[in-house]
Amino acid sequence: MAYVTPIGSNTAQIEYRLSGSHGCTAGATDEQLDYHLHGQERPLVWVGAGLAEVGIEAGTVLEPQGYDQARALMNGLDPRTGERLVEAKLGIPDDAKVSVGPLVRGIHAACEQAGASSAELLGSERLTGIFERAERALAGKGEGGLLRADEAGQLADGAGLSAEEVWGAKTYGAAVANLTQTRTVTRADGSTGEEAVPRRVTVGNLGYDVSFTLPKSHSLLLAFAGEGDAKAIEATFASNVGRTFDWLEATTAYGMRGHHGGGRSAQTVAGSGFLGWAMTHRAARPVGERMVGDPHWHVHVSIANMTKGLDGRWSTVAAGGRDLMRHAPAVDHVLKALVRHELSTRFGVRFERNPRSKAWEVAAIPDETLREFSKRGTSIAAMLAELGLDAGSASSAQTRLAKDRTRQAKTEGTGAADVELREQWQDEARAAGFNPDELAANALTGVPAGTGAGDRANLLAGIVRAITDPESGLTAHRRRFTTADALAAVADAMAGGAGTVEEIESLTQEALTAAGIVDLAATPTRGHDSKHQLGAGHMQNAVRYTTADVVAAERIILSAAAASRPGDGAAHVDERTAALAQSVIETSQGFDLSVEQGAIMTAIVTSDRSVEYLIGPPGTGKRPRLRRRTCRVKAASNRAPSPHGSCRSRTEPTPAA
């Protein structure tokens, strides 16, 4: 799977990637750095067309004497002159903030006691806006949600709360003190003194780590092949990573000009390219007492968060990086399709969809072998199970936690010569009952797949079936998708891969037309709304689509909503039951609903209209309110809500618009 990970504002992350670790080692030792520098591991290589703007040649080795250049780029500086090219984003340090949890709960309690809404209690639009931000922080980050101390104190004052009682005098006082710092100034008369100034730290994202990976069987093919074939196979992997990176760069290395949001759209301007470096790894992390991990060929590319526009100005890339990250699935499947095509046409490799992983694996390498050489994944799955989680349904955050807990540093063995690593892996395969020579020979038949006049028609028909499949297609679990999503799906549907990215793009458009996919820009389903696609209109491959059955279903829902009237006799609860269910909900979630929230929920669940809907902007708690509605309906049907807050409905909850 390809990943795009923001590096963040911590400069230690840059050192981490200059060590040759690139997200694979918590910290590199002197010995690890030594074997990297002496060529036993792949060297760092400069990548990105934008490097020419600062006098660096892409494709050359990034030697240790060039590390200061890399550091400068990541910090938005010209490595030749130190001139700042992109302004750093500054913000309030975390130690100048306080937890929003006790504040939000305190204000909810004050609202309940006063019988007023939060807006009425706080008495100003500004404080109400800050409070809504605090509620969103609590909903999104739980007790880890923070708010700058001065604004938090103003909210507490507005609600009649004591900051000292909410957070404690020591905690709140320290946070307020951390909002400022003193600096020495020289006065007009030549004397010096100190003055308090706002304290700010860099909070903007310095760059991105883009990872390029291939299915396990590809790494095993490389590990089991003879020396000559292994070199050719790795060259195939590397060249197609380069082609995929070039496509990603051409697609997303752009800047933006003007303000985006509030009904206004910024303009995009083409950039000269990315600026960064790449590192190739051959093995996964070792597990247990092993000196070397399993075969896992992958590439990490670190790119600075800046590009030079064709207008001569420098700026951050890809719409704040969002466009870069939303292209990650397409990058993943485009790379794999390009590699499959070359391995097939050049070496005669055949591929089959693995029922377990759903990936296209080398047909000649059985799943038992893949499992044997997937110890790192097995270790992560075991840790998730220990945490009471399932690897198939765990969230990305939960999976990261498991990875962190099972992470072991790479050893000197990881830096062994290619031939030594292959010999070790082949010996391990034999010890497990597999014949690596036979597996490689069966995979590398040298007989390329044939092509015929009907092949493209059959390929297109297969792609259409894949993207419209009701169980696994593009709208199996979502109502809409974009061109970027379609590119990923089409590339993944091509068993024999594709010779070029342009072929994938062309087939995508053909498949969308052949499948009767609906272009939402041309087919409004909500009436005229100039803002409906504002958030994605400036991004690449962002045209939104859906299938005709989804449009038909939405029209039925809208018609039912328009026809719904009081007195329809639909399921509802009485006010006494609603109040009882609310008390259970509040106990389970640890804080009371506000007066406004309680009133909204009571109005919805006591209504006997056939359709009720709740309208609100993103992040305002629509889904939690609908879950509470489900709990109340269950209470009315003598299925009391769980005191642990695990209420769920077997039917669809009230639609949210």
DSSP state at residue 653: P
Which structure tokens are listed for 399?
């999976």
Q: How far apart are CA 85 and CA 313, in angstroms?
A: 8
So what's the pLDDT on residue 219?
95
So what's the pLDDT on residue 531?
37
* Cα R_g (the chain), whole angstroms: 29
Which structure tokens are listed for 329?
């699935």
Q: How far apart are CA 370 and CA 432, in angstroms?
A: 12
* Burial readout 246-260 (b: 16 or more C-beta within 10 A, e: otherwise): bbbbebbbbbbeeeb
Which structure tokens are listed for 184?
């020495």
So what's the pLDDT on residue 641?
40
Q: What is the pTM of this model?
A: 0.76
Q: What are 460-489's pLDDT values in tens digits?
A: 999 999 998 888 888 888 888 999 999 999
Q: What are 513-537's pLDDT values in tens digits?
A: 999 898 887 654 444 343 333 345 6
Which residues in the chain show pLDDT less than 50? 22-40, 377, 379-380, 382-384, 386-387, 398, 402-403, 406-409, 411-413, 453, 524-535, 638-657
Contact partners, residue 401, CB within 8 Å, separation at least 6: 387
So what's the pLDDT on residue 649?
33
Q: What are 548-588's pLDDT values in tens digits?
A: 888 888 888 888 888 888 877 777 778 888 788 777 777 77
Q: How far apart are CA 512 and CA 502, in angstroms?
A: 16
So what's the pLDDT on residue 257?
86
CB 593 within 8 A of CB 582: yes
State the CB neighbour count (10 A cutoff) for residue 218.
Answer: 27
Beta bridge partners of 84: 77
Q: How far apart are CA 452 and CA 429, in angstroms?
A: 38
In single-letter form, the type of residue at position 138 comes to: L
65: Cα separation from own chain's centroid: 33
β-strands 3-6, 192-198 pairing: unpaired
Q: How far apart are CA 553 and CA 463, in angstroms?
A: 24
Beta bridge partners of 267: 257
Q: How far apart are CA 24 and CA 33, in angstroms?
A: 13
Contact partners, residue 122, CB within 8 Å, separation at least 6: 107, 128, 131, 155, 158, 159
